Structure 1
Amino acid sequence: MLYLCLKYLHVIAAIFLFGFGMGSYLYLIAASRTANPQVIAHVARMVVRFDTWITTPAGFVQIFTGYGLLRLSGLPISTDWILTSLIIFACVGALWLPVLRLQNRLWRMAVQAGEAGAVLDVRYANVYRAWFWMGVLGFAGMFVIVLMMVTKMTPGQLLGYWL
């Protein structure tokens, strides 16, 4: 029963990571496309809050429940799909702190522009571009991790299976 409870929490945490993360990502993209500093500031503030208070803790739940599942299942950490998913998870996690910082910068830049009645300049565009591409990389990694969770195969094993 403990295994099933941990598995349930692990899946829920994955849904939160993916769902809230993707929602935040898409909302900030949509807000940025308006080029309206007030809209961007409002949305970025919510994105920073949700990613700090919901998405980040979900990542920690993933770590703890994944470890528990690993221990209860008796699978070695060196199992191909587990090790590969951990490496990708670490890479995605390494993007996370910079992403949060960039979101904070986007928020502050939008607030400052809104208060000054100014338009967002090239600095905003540069920070936004870095944030956007880090998001693309992070979500690509998350898609692969979920694929491995479902199939219990690495991407290389899947390609060999399909070919």
Structure 2
Amino acid sequence: MNDYVLLKTVHILSSTLLFGTGLGTAFFMWFTYRSGRVEAIAVATRLAVRADLLFTTPAVIVQPLSGYLLMRLMHFDLHTPWLQAAGLLYLFTGACWLPVVWLQWRVRDMAAVALRDGTSLPPLCHRYMRTWFVLGWPAFIAVVLVFWLMVAKPALWA
């Protein structure tokens, strides 16, 4: 296997892991939260946080590294418009993702306390979940656009 095939495989697998884990945890966390069942919410948020640590975070690191190495190997100019757009969208996604991670940790902690004490989730938890939901959409759209840019490599501006 040559360097290009290895790097491209790593890049594609890490993007799949990043996108799939994000979409999967968002789906289960949101619909579990909507159930209102504190025990289920405590489990789902705990596992979402764990999935981010085990899968999403390494993929977030591997993506730009493997992308940069591929760019160098393929002799792409860093100033290529579709690469610049993809990089900006990636940074935008990260700017949405970091608060989402923080919110997940807080919701996880609040759900654990509510479960332990046999109480309902506090109003702050509901506010955090609404914010978490809202931040997820632009990040999701940005990642889809990055996929499109990587595949289409369109001429955007000159």
Q: Check whether TM > 0.5.
A: yes
1:82 and 2:83 equivalent? Answer: yes
CA distance in 1 between partners of 2:115 and 2:154 (Å) = 49
Equivalent residue for 1:98? 99
Compare 89-98 and 24-33 and name the one that shifted more: 89-98
What CA deviation, in whole Å up to 9, does each residue of 1:44-72 have, x standing for no partner?
00000001111111111111100100101
Equivalent residue for 2:65? 64
- What's the Cα RMSD here? 1.3
- Matched to 1:128, the amino acid is M
Question: Which runs of no fewer than 5 residues in structure 2 stay unpaired?
Answer: none
Equivalent residue for 2:135? 134
Percent identity among equivalent residues? 33
CA distance in 2 between partners of 1:59 and 1:115 (Å) = 33
1:13 and 2:14 equivalent? Answer: yes
CA distance in 2 between partners of 1:30 and 1:11 (Å) = 28
Equivalent residue for 2:27? 26
Equivalent residue for 1:122? 123
Equivalent residue for 1:46? 47
- Matched to 1:61, the amino acid is V
Instruction: Give aligned pairs, total.
Output: 156
Compare 115-124 and 27-36 and name the one that shifted more: 115-124
Deviation for aligned residue 1:35:
0.7
Deviation for aligned residue 1:121:
3.1
Question: Which runs of no fewer than 5 residues in structure 1 stay unpaired?
Answer: 158-163
- Asked if 1 retains the 8 angstrom alpha-carbon contact of 2:110 and 2:122, the reply is no
Equivalent residue for 1:161? none
CA distance in 2 between partners of 1:46 and 1:53 (Å) = 10
CA distance in 2 between partners of 1:141 and 1:25 (Å) = 15
Deviation for aligned residue 1:107:
0.6
Deviation for aligned residue 1:94:
1.7
- Matched to 1:37, the amino acid is V
CA distance in 1 between partners of 2:50 and 2:138 (Å) = 22
SS in structure 2 of the partner of residue 83 of structure 1: helix
TM-score after normalising by structure 2? 0.94
TM-score after normalising by structure 1? 0.92
- Matched to 1:30, the amino acid is F
CA distance in 2 between partners of 1:37 and 1:110 (Å) = 6
- Matched to 2:131, the amino acid is A
CA distance in 2 between partners of 1:95 and 1:52 (Å) = 16
